[in-house]
Structure 1
Amino acid sequence: MVVSTNSMVKPILLPGITICSLMLSIVFSVFFVLLSHPEDVSLRNIIINTYLWKVIKFTFFQAFLSALLSVLIALLLSKSYFRNNFFCNIFLKLSSTIFVLPTTIITIGMLMVYGRSGWISQFFNIIKFEYSFNPYGFNGVILTNVFINLPFAIQLLLRSIRIISSDQWKIIDQLGMRHLEYFIRVEWYYLKRQIVPVFILIFVLSFSNFSIILIVGGGPSSTTIELAIYQMINFGPNYFQAAFLTFVQMMCCLLLITFVQKVNIFPMIENDYEELSHNRYCSHIYHDSIVNKIIILISIVFFISPLSAIILDGINVELFKILKDPYFWESFWNSAVIAIGSSSLCTLFAIIFLWSSRELYFQKMFFLYRSFKMISMTLIVLPNTSLVISLSHLLNDFLIIRSPYPLIIFINALMFVPYSIKMLEIPMNDTFQYYNNLCLSLKITGLNRFFVIEYDKLSYDIKKSFVLSCAFSFGDISTLTIFEENQFPTLPYYLYDHLNHYCVKEASSTSLLMLFFYMILFLSLRKSFQKKYD
C-alpha cells in the first residue's frame, strides 16, 4: 500500500511543481532582465548612493506609521463596533466594498474630500477659516494608507473579539471585572494573536503600494521603492539601481511574511454568516453608550465621505461627454477583456497549485509543503513595476508578441495568483479532507474527482476568487509602465490621464463609472454568498 501511495503522489505533484517552477523562473527572469543591461556603475556606488537610502528610509517609515496607526485605531473601533450590532453589520458590508475597490478610485475620493478644493476646504471657506492640510506628499500617503487598511484591520480584530463565548462573558460578569481588568485578563489573549500579523500584513501592503504614491506622492521627499523603480527604468534608465531596490523590497517583505507563517498566525478574512446571525450574550462591560455612538458615527462618516464624494462630484456635465467618448469605451473594453482573461487564468493557476500542495500536506511531506507556500509568496513581495517591465521586455524579445492582450493578461494573472491561493487554500484543504476516503473507496481521481465531487462545494469560493481577481485586475494601473496612452489605453490609465492633466471633473465622472462597475461585481458576489447559505 505504501508503494502505491507514493506512486500516486508523483503525477499529482506535477501540476503544482509546474506552477512553482513558473513562479521561480519569473523571479529569476526579473533580475536577469534588470542586470543584463550594461551600465557603467559599481555596486559600491549604488550602496553609498544617498538618494537610494533616502527612498528606502521613507518607504520603511511610511509603511511603519501606516501600520501602527491602522492597528491602534482598529483596536478602538473594533471594540466600539462590537458594542453595537446594527452599525457593526453596516460597517462589515461597507468595509467589504472598500476592500474590493482599487486604490486609484479611493485615492481620488480622498482628494475630493481632503484636497485643496475638496469638501472640507469648501466648508472651511464658508466659516472663514484657513484650511492648511496638504493631501499630497507624506500626509496624503499616510491618510490614504490608513483609510484603505483600517477596515481590513477592524474586521480581523473584531473577529477575534467575537470568538469570546457567551459562557466567558457570564463568568466575567459574575467576577465583576472592570474594563481595564477585563481587557488585560481576557480580551488581550485573543487580540494579541492577531495584532502582530495584522501589523505586518498592513506594513507589507503599504510598503509595496504603487498607485497611492503615484497619485499623492512622487516628489523627491515622498518617493517609495516601487515608484523609484518605475522612475529609474522609464526615465533613467538605471537598471542596476532598480535591481538593488527590487532585492531590498523582496528580502524585507519575504522575511516579514516568513516570520508570520513560522508562528502560524497568518490572518485570513472569512465571511462568518452564522456568527453575525445569532444573538450573543452581552456583558455590562459592552453596553452601548453615547460616547461609543459618537465614535462609531465619526468612523462611518470617515469611511463613507470619499465614496459619497465620488458619487456626488461624479454626476456632472462631463459624465455624458465621457459616455459618448469612443476613447473611454475602447479603454473600458480593453480593461474588461484583460480582467476576465487574467482572473480566469489566475484562478486556474491557484487551483492547479493547491491541487498538489494539499496532497503534500496530507501526505505529511511538510518540508515540501512549506517550500511550495514560500514560493507562492515570492510574487507578492516582488515589486509590481519590476515584474511588469521585466516580463514585458523578456516576452517581447523572445516570443515577439504583437498583441498586447496575452502579455498583460499573463502578467496580471501572475500578480494576483498568491491572493487567489490564500482565498482557496482553506476550502480546498477542507474539501480534500472530508471527501478523500470516499474518493479512494470509489476510485474517483483526477478531473472526475474535481467536477463530480469537489466542484459543488468549492463553487462559491472559486467564484469569489474569480470576482476579486477580476476586480483587482480591472483597476490595476501597472500596465501604464508598459504602454503609453496612445498604444493601449485601459480604464485606470484613462482615469490617471485626466487626473494628471488636472481635469478634475472628468476624473470624478470616470471614477463614478468605475465605482458603478465595482458595485455590480460586489453585488454579484453577495448574491452568490446568500445562495450558498439558502
Structure 2
Amino acid sequence: MSFVQWRLLPAFFLILVFTLIGAASLAALLFYGEADRWMSYLSSAYLWRVVRFSLWQALLSSVLSIGLAVPIASALMHRQFFGRNALFQLFAVSMVVPSIVAILGIVVVYGRSGWITAWTGIELPLYGLLGILLAHLFFNLPLAVRLLVQAHGLIPQAQWRLALQLGFSRWQAFKIIEWHYIRKALPGAFVLIFMLCFSSFAVVLSLGGGPKSSTLEVAIYQALRFDFDVSKASVLSLLQVLICSCVAMLIYRFSLPLKQDNSVLTLKGYVLKDSAWNKFFDISAIVFALLLILPPFIAILEPIFSPVFWQTLQDEKMWQAVGVSLKIAIPAAILSVVLGLGFVFVARYGHCQPRLEWLAKLVESLGNSILMIPGLVIATGLFLVFRQIGLGFDQGYWIVVWVNGMTALPFVLRALMPVFYQQEKRYRLLYASLGIWGKARFLLEWPIVRGSVAQAFGYALLLCLGDMGVIALFGSSGLLSLPLYLFQLIGSYRLEQGSSVAVVLVVLCVVLFMFSTRIIGGVKRVKH
C-alpha cells in the first residue's frame, strides 16, 4: 500500500461504516419480511394504485422541473440584471427550505381561501395532484436550474469567443453549443429530482388529499407508525428500493459523460447577437421563476405583523422544539459533511489513477445511493435492527441523526466534488513533485475549497433542520422538532399559530445558513 493510500484509510473507514449501516438496514428489512405474506401484499390492488400514482407524479414533476429549468438557466447565464445574485440566493434557500413551511406558503397562495382565489375568484383544486406538482416545482425547479447552470459553466471560453466571431444568435448558440453540454447533465438531474419526488413524504402527506393521492413513502409510514405491521413496511420499503434502482440504472444506461474544464483561467461571458424576441423569451422565463418561487416566501412571512406571532414567541413548547431541531440538525450536518469529505477524498484519488477509475465511480454511486434508498426506508431498517437488540422508539434520536446525515449526503457531494476534483486535476502533479501532503496541502487548498465546504454544510444543516419524514416516524413528546410541531398545529386547525411558527422556522433557517457560510466560508460571499 502506497503512502497516499495509507493516508486515505480514515476516508475508507467512513465509507465502510456508511456501507455497513445501509446494508444492515436492508438486511433487517429482508429478515423481517414474512415471505408467506408477501404475495398477499403484492396482489393488493391498493398497493399497485399507490405505485402507479407515485411513478406518475414523480415523472410529471421531474419533466416539468427540467423542462422549465432549461430556458430559465439559459436566460440567467446570458442576462445580467439587478437582483440576479439575489435570485440565485433565493433559489438556494428554496431548495432546502423546510417542506412543511413551503407547503404552508403554497396553501396561503393557492388554497381555497388563498391569494389566487381572492384576486381571481378561481378556486384551484390544491389538494391532490395539482398541489403536489406545485410543491415539487417550488422545491425542484431551483435545483434543476442550478444543476444546469453548473453544466453551462463547463463550456470552454474558446467556444463562446468563436460563436461571437461567427455572429451566432442566441438560438444558434443554444442549439450548437449549450445543448451539447446541457443534455449531458439532464439524466443526472432527472434521476435526482425523480428520486426526491418519488420518495416525497411531507408534500404528499399534507397536499395529497387522501388515499387516492398516496405514495409508497406515506404507505410505509402508515404501516409502521399506525398499523405497526413490520412485515408490510418491509415489503413496501424493498419495493421502493427496487423501483428507484431500476429507474436510476435505466436512465444512467443512456446518459453521456459530462467532463469538467481543467483550465485555471476565469471564464468570461461574450455578448451574442440579440433580438427583441430573445429578450422577451428570457424575461418571460425569469418572471415565471419569480412568480413561482417568491409568493410562497412572502406568504410565509406575512404573519409577522399579527399579534399571534408575538404571543407565539412566548410559547415554551415552541422553544423546546427549536432546541430539539438544533440538537438533531447540527450533529447530522457535521456528520454529513465528514462523510462527504471521506467520499470525495477517495473518489478524487481514483479519478486521477487510470487503473482505479472504477473505484471513483463506485464511491460516487455509493454516495448517491441514498436517492434510491430513501431516508424513511433506512430508518425503518435501523428501527428493526434496534428492535432486534431490545431498543425501540425511545432510542429514535440516534436513528434520526444518522439518517438525516445520510439523506443530506447527495447534496453535500454535489457541492464538494466539482471544486475538489478540479483542484486534484490542476495541481496533483505539482503536489507530488514537491512532496506536499497532509496538513501542508490542506492549508494550500482550504482558501479555495472552503466556500464549497460552507455551502455543503449550510445545505445539510437546512435539510436536517426541516426533516419531516424520519422525525414523524420516531417523534414523541420528548423528541418534538419544530417542523413536526408545526405539522401538529396545522393538523389541529391552529393555522394562525402554525403560520407564526413557520416564520420562526424560516428565520432560523436563514440565520443558520448565513452564519454557517460566513463562519466556514469566510468573509467572501459563497458563489452559486
Give TM-score, length-normalised by structure 2.
0.86
**Aligned residue in 2 for 1:282:** 272
Offset at 1:323?
1.0
Pair 506,41 (structure 1): closer, same or farther in 2 beyond 3 Å: farther
Deviates more, 1:468-477 or 1:484-493: 484-493
Offset at 1:147?
1.9
Deviations 1:425-461 (A, max 9, x none): 2333333445545554565545x35644444443222
Counterpart of 1:282 in structure 2: which amino acid? L
Deviations 1:15-68 (A, max 9, x none): 343233323322332233334447584333233221111111101100111111
Counterpart of 1:355 in structure 2: which amino acid? F
Is residue 341 of structure 2 the alignment partner of residue 351 of structure 1? yes
Offset at 1:82?
4.9
Is residue 439 of structure 2 the alignment partner of residue 469 of structure 1? no
**Aligned residue in 2 for 1:312:** 302
Is residue 411 of structure 2 the alignment partner of residue 423 of structure 1? no
Identity across matched positions, percent = 23
Unaligned runs of 5+ residues in structure 1 are 1-5
- In structure 2, what is the Cα distance between the partners aligned to 1:372 and 1:353? 6
Pair 49,258 (structure 1): closer, same or farther in 2 beyond 3 Å: same
- In structure 1, what is the Cα distance between the partners aligned to 2:219 and 2:335? 30
**Aligned residue in 1 for 2:167:** 173
CA contact (8 A) 2:244 2:372 kept: yes
Pair 182,421 (structure 1): closer, same or farther in 2 beyond 3 Å: closer
**Aligned residue in 1 for 2:511:** 520
Offset at 1:221?
0.9
CA contact (8 A) 1:485 1:493 kept: no
- In structure 2, what is the Cα distance between the partners aligned to 1:384 and 1:210? 10
**Aligned residue in 1 for 2:293:** 303
Pair 212,20 (structure 1): closer, same or farther in 2 beyond 3 Å: same
| Counterpart mapping for 1:61-460 below 5 A | 61-82=56-77, 84-86=79-81, 88-124=84-120, 129=121, 131-158=122-149, 163=155, 165-173=159-167, 179=171, 184-217=175-208, 219-258=210-249, 263-265=255-257, 280-285=270-275, 289=279, 293-294=283-284, 296-363=286-353, 364-395=355-386, 397-398=388-389, 400=391, 405-437=397-429, 439-440=431-432, 443=435, 445-446=437-438, 448-449=439-440, 451-460=442-451
CA contact (8 A) 1:439 1:449 kept: no
What count of residue pairs does the alignment treat as equivalent? 515
Pair 274,377 (structure 1): closer, same or farther in 2 beyond 3 Å: same
- In structure 2, what is the Cα distance between the partners aligned to 1:302 and 1:61? 22
| Counterpart mapping for 1:477-516 below 5 A | 477-516=468-507
Offset at 1:88?
4.3
What do you get for the CA RMSD once the two structures are aligned? 3.3
CA contact (8 A) 1:229 1:246 kept: yes
Offset at 1:511?
1.1
Counterpart of 1:467 in structure 2: which amino acid? G
Pair 480,11 (structure 1): closer, same or farther in 2 beyond 3 Å: same
SS of residue in 2 equivalent to 1:282: coil
CA contact (8 A) 2:379 2:399 kept: no
Deviations 1:229-279 (A, max 9, x none): 1111122233333333322322333344445656454799xxx9966xx66
SS of residue in 2 equivalent to 1:489: coil
Offset at 1:348?
1.5
CA contact (8 A) 2:69 2:148 kept: yes
- In structure 2, what is the Cα distance between the partners aligned to 1:83 and 1:118? 35
Pair 286,82 (structure 1): closer, same or farther in 2 beyond 3 Å: farther
Offset at 1:285?
4.2
SS of residue in 1 equivalent to 2:214: coil
Pair 290,35 (structure 1): closer, same or farther in 2 beyond 3 Å: closer
CA contact (8 A) 2:111 2:126 kept: yes
Offset at 1:525?
5.9
Deviations 1:165-210 (A, max 9, x none): 5434434537xx695x665445533432333333332222211221
- In structure 1, what is the Cα distance between the partners aligned to 2:124 and 2:285? 23
Offset at 1:304?
0.8
CA contact (8 A) 1:197 1:266 kept: no
Deviations 1:344-374 (A, max 9, x none): 1221122223333333333331223322222
Unaligned runs of 5+ residues in structure 2 are none
**Aligned residue in 2 for 1:48:** 43
Pair 83,10 (structure 1): closer, same or farther in 2 beyond 3 Å: closer
Counterpart of 1:412 in structure 2: which amino acid? N
CA contact (8 A) 1:30 1:387 kept: yes
Is residue 524 of structure 2 the alignment partner of residue 531 of structure 1? yes
CA contact (8 A) 1:319 1:509 kept: yes
Offset at 1:325?
0.9
- In structure 2, what is the Cα distance between the partners aligned to 1:428 and 1:461? 9
